[in-house]
Amino acid sequence: MPHILIVEDDADINNATAAYLRRRGCRCSQAFSGTEGRLLWQAGGVDLLLVDLMLPGLSDGELIAEIRSSSRTPVIVLSAKTELSDKMELFGLGADDYLTKPYQLEELWARILVQLRHASAAPVGAQLRYRDWALDLDAMTLTAAGQPVNLTAHEFRIVELLVSRPKRVFTKQQIYEAVWQEQYAVEDKTITVHVSNIRAKLRPSGTDRYIQTVWGIGFKLAE
C-alpha cells in the first residue's frame, strides 16, 4: 500500500484526490500548506508526494528542494500554470512530473504508477561506475575523479542513463522520454542545455569529455 502525501491548499481538490487514491488502495496524508507538508514529510514513510504550486507557508520550490536534497522520493507537481518556463524551473529543482490543472484523476493515477515503478527500479545502495565516475543511485550523487559533482535530479538521471548503457548512442528524444517520462513532441534545446550544464560541472574534475556529442543523433559516452 503506497503512502502518498498530498500537499494542496485547495481543500476540495485535496479531499477529492485523497478519496480517489484511497479507493485505489493508497494510504494518504493530507497537508494544506508547505509548512504542514514538510512536517508530514519529516515524519517519514512517504512513497510519493503530490505538491501544488503557490503554497502558503513554505513555498513549493523550497519544499521540493528540501526533499530532493536528501531523498529520491518521487514528486509530482500539480498546477494551473502551463508555461514551459514554470515546468522547467520545477524540474530543475527536482520535480519528477508535472500535471496541469484541471486534471483527470485517472491520468493522475497513471502518472503515480509510473513514478512508483521508477522509484522501485533501483535497489537501495545501488551504484554505477564508469571510468572515474561513481554514481550512488540511492543518494542521487555523482563523484568524478574523487570530487563530488552537484547535479540536479534531471542532470543526474541523464548521466545515469548514459552510464547504464555506455556503448549506446541515445537520441535527444530517447533521453527526454526516459528522464522526463513524457512524450517528446517537438525539437527543443532542453537536452542540449542540460548536457552543457553537466559538462560545465564536470570540467573541474577533468571528466567533462566523457560525454560525447554524436552530431545529428544525440549523445554517448566516450570509449
Phi/psi region, residue 140 (left: phi>0; alpha: psi -120 to 50; beta: rest), is: left
Rg (CA), the chain: 18
Length of the chain, please? 223
Domains in the chain with CATH codes: 3-121 (3.40.50.2300), 127-221 (1.10.10.10)
What's the pLDDT band for 159 if we cut at 50, 70, 90?
very high
Residue with cell 561506475: 129
pTM for the model stands at 0.56
Q: Which of 211, 117, 197 is nearest to 219 (CA)?
A: 211
The per-residue pLDDT for 187 is 63
The per-residue pLDDT for 13 is 93
User: CA–CA distance from 128 to each of 117, 118, 174, 209 (Å)?
Assistant: 19, 17, 20, 18
pLDDT digits (tens, 9 = 90+) for 163-191: 988 888 989 888 888 887 777 766 668 88
Please check the confidence at residue 125 and state whether its pLDDT lies above 60: no
The per-residue pLDDT for 72 is 78
Give the span between the Cα atoms of 94 and 81, in whole angstroms.
Answer: 17
Please check the confidence at residue 19 and state whether its pLDDT lies above 90: yes
Please check the confidence at residue 215 and state whether its pLDDT lies above 80: yes
Please check the confidence at residue 96 and state whether its pLDDT lies above 90: no
Question: What's the angle, vertex CA 165, arms to CA 162 and CA 167, rounded to 5?
Answer: 95
Question: Rounded mean pLDDT of 49-76?
Answer: 80
Residue with cell 502551463: 82
Please check the confidence at residue 5 and state whether its pLDDT lies above 90: yes
The per-residue pLDDT for 190 is 85
- Which DSSP category does 215 fall into? T
